[in-house]
Amino acid sequence: MADARGKDNWNHTSSLLAMLFNINRDPKKQRAISPEIFNPYVTQKPKKDTRMAFDFMKHLWVKGK
């Protein structure tokens, strides 16, 4: 039961992260990503976009890089 709750919470969180990334991306340079990239419960291998997504978010929110 706790595992199901964790999966549900991560589905919600990964959807929010994907939405934030897609809102702030440059459509000419980046393509839209799906929530599965941010979800640790998805068993697929992460795509190249994962590193790009975290680098982009780091660029947005980390000061003094």
- Sketch the domain layout of the chain as residue ranges: 2-61
Q: How far is CA 43 from the centre of its chain?
A: 15
Side chain identity at residue 6, one-letter code: G
Q: Is 42 left (phi over 0), alpha (psi -120 to 50) or beta?
A: beta
Which pLDDT belongs to residue 64? 63
Q: How far apart are CA 53 and CA 26, in angstroms?
A: 12
State pLDDT tens for residues 1-58. 888 998 999 999 999 999 999 999 999 998 999 999 899 888 766 556 677 778 888 8
Alpha helix positions (H), 1-65:
2-24, 49-61
Amino acid found at 60: L
pLDDT at 51: 76
Q: What's the pLDDT at 65?
A: 55
Q: What is the pLDDT of residue 45?
A: 63
- Which pTM value belongs to this model? 0.62
* Phi, psi dihedral angles at 51 (to 5 degrees): -65, -40
